[in-house]
Structure 1
Amino acid sequence: KPSAAHPRPVVLVHGTLGNSVDNWLGLAPYLKVRGYCVFSLDYGQLEGVPFFHGLGPAEKSAGQLRVFVDTVLAATGAAETDLVGHSQGGMMPRYYLKFLGGAAKVNALVGIAPSNHGTDLNGFTELLPYFPGAADLLSKNTPALADQVTGSAFLTKLNTGGDTVPGVKYTVIATKYDEVVTPWRSQYLSGPDVRNVLLQDLCSVDLSEHVAVGLLDRVVFHEVANALDPGRATPTTCLSAFE
């Protein structure tokens, strides 16, 4: 049950190739020890692929998130939840918020290195047209990867008409050393109730890249806690790694 200090349960949404356990070995206990009621889900499973999830169509994954949030709210008696997602898990919930009624059930979305406007994988995806059938193969076998390529039909639908929906607070935490969601500035959102944060503005010597920011970085974890409870927020610095 959520505590009086933190009345909203937190749902953690893993990234591509992640799962509900491995993606959150750092952040889940960090939040739990600070009094948060924490849940995580598996989504985007492909038949015959164990452990590595977040590969199925992102639209279908958003439907799985909707069901899971409803389950969490029913179990806890809470009226709203907060979502924290890494990579695809920071982007995909926006579809749930925008098209599947999630805005009425979510107070805040915190995206850690989210693929909000897609990725060119440092230019790799721009080579796909030169290899006949490569894009179709990607879409057929790993739909979520295709959905996250810059300019995909999924992202076009998601971002048309604005990045955000009313009533939800958005935080994006990016690292300039991201080698997966590139260029890293594409992670940022535009609109009301948006706060875009660059990790190196908080701690200039933090070299964490795409994976580390979600799995290991306690400076990031501190900023996530600030986003979840802005009324009790304290400055995030390099020393936050030792708190």
Structure 2
Amino acid sequence: MLPVKRLLRSVSALLLAAAVATVPAATAAHAQNAAVTSSGWNDYHCKPSAAHPRPVVLVHGTLGNSVDNWLGLAPYLTARGYCVFSLDYGQLPGVPFFHGLGPIDRSAQQLDTFVDKVLAATGAPEADLVGHSQGGMMPRYYLKFLGGAAEVNALIGLAPDNHGTTLNGLTKLLPYFPGAEDLLSLATPGLADQIAGSAFLTKLNQGGDTVPGVRYTVIATRYDEVVTPYTSGWLEGPGVRNVLLQDLCPLDLSEHLAIGLLDRIAFHEVANALDPARATRTTCASVFS
């Protein structure tokens, strides 16, 4: 058998490599922030319009950050008149740029604080949340346990791991190596929390997937190599809409990275979920819209 530490390295490497699919390479020292603000993204002077009365908060995935994860979707939404904001969460000491690695319950507290800041700046009573991967699942803790349902109208998840991931079965090997799970939890608790069957996910999903008063949309891809099976992202309950990207466009081959970073078919469906009263059909042609 592999030594425990070697297994841990193997599991961590696969988890980290898979999660890297939520971000491109870190851009030069986060220097985009000034340009982002000037383009209307993370502009705290932005006031929601009558057409789009709620600010949109973007929640990055594991190993993501508030800029790199949203270089595609944030401009897409600001160009359509939304006030768009994004946060960093789940930072580990000494690890720059690559976030979402800390305990997920603490990350949810960071999201709570950030939403309060956005609502205070914009004057809006509620926000809409759009998250990729962990960022589509973690807000559910905020909604369920931290009072977020009073501050959020809708949660839209792009390839979220709402019921965890098996990474194609690899995580099922962990119990055979005593101490491996504990080591993983100590090194990168945000990764350990996302393993199917974790204590965090058991608590999160106990008693139902949803809370009253919030609309939920899950947008998944059958080619997801990180959230496995991809159906673990589905939610059950009132106000839920589960969407498979390939049902909208059979030609769409996006996997875990592309659905959050650059897939304009997915982006069009996000826009529909943000404004269902003005929704238009999402098809393969939506890539041109």
TM-score of the aligned structures, taking structure 1 as reference length: 0.99
Give matches, 1:107-118, under 5 Å.
Answer: 107-118=153-164
- Aligned mates of 2:157, 2:183 — CA distance in 1: 28
Match of 2:186, as an amino acid?
K
**1:184-199 alignment runs, 5 A limit:** 184-199=230-245
Please state whether the residue corresponding to 1:40 is helix, strand or coil: strand
SS at match of 2:128: strand
Match of 2:117?
71
Number of aligned pairs? 243
Within 5 Å, give how 1:1-243 maps onto structure 2: 1-243=47-289
| Cα distance in structure 2, aligned partners of 1:2 and 1:29 | 16
User: Take 1:21 and 1:2, find their aligned partners in 2: how far apart are those partners?
Assistant: 21
Equivalent position SS for 2:112 = helix
The one-letter amino acid of 2:91's match is Q
Q: Cα RMSD between the aligned structures? A: 0.5
Tell me how far apart the structure 2 counterparts of residues 61 and 124 of structure 1 sit (CA, whole Å): 25
Give the distance between the partners of 2:138 and 2:56, measured in 1 at CA.
Answer: 16
Give secondary structure in 1 for the equivalent of 2:86. Answer: strand
CA shift digits 1:103-123 (9 cap, x unpaired): 000000000000100000010
Distance 1:142 1:216 in 2: 27
Provide the rounded CA distance (Å) in 1 between the counterparts of 2:86 and 2:111. 10
Identity value in percent = 81
Distance in 1 (alpha carbons) for counterparts of 2:247 and 2:66: 29
- For residues 10 and 93 of structure 1, the distance between their equivalents in structure 2, rounded to whole angstroms, comes to 13
Partner amino acid for 1:207? L
Structure 1, unaligned runs of 5 or more: none
- Distance in 2 (alpha carbons) for counterparts of 1:88 and 1:8: 23
Deviations 1:8-49 (A, max 9, x none): 000000000000000000000000000000000000000000
Q: Which amino acid aligns with 1:172?
A: V
SS of 1:39 mapped into structure 2: strand
CA distances 1:159-196 after superposition (whole Å, capped 9, x unpaired)? 00000000000000000000001001110000000000
Shift of 1:198: 0.1
Superposed CA deviations along residues 32-91 of structure 1, whole A, max 9, x for unmatched, are: 000000000000000000000000000000000000000000000000000000000000
- In 2, the alpha carbon distance for the partners of 1:129 and 1:7 equals 48
- Cα offsets for 1:122-143 (capped at 9, x unmatched): 1010111222322111100100
The amino acid that maps onto 1:220 is A
Distance in 2 (alpha carbons) for counterparts of 1:158 and 1:4? 34
Q: In structure 2, how many angstroms separate the alpha carbons of the residues matched to 1:217 and 1:141?
A: 32
Q: Distance in 1 between matches of 2:178 and 2:218?
A: 35
Max Rg structure: 2
In the alignment, the residues of structure 2 paired with residue 22 and residue 131 of structure 1 have an alpha-carbon distance, to the nearest angstrom, of 35
Give the Cα–Cα distance (whole angstroms) in 2 for the partners of residues 125 and 16 of structure 1.
Answer: 17
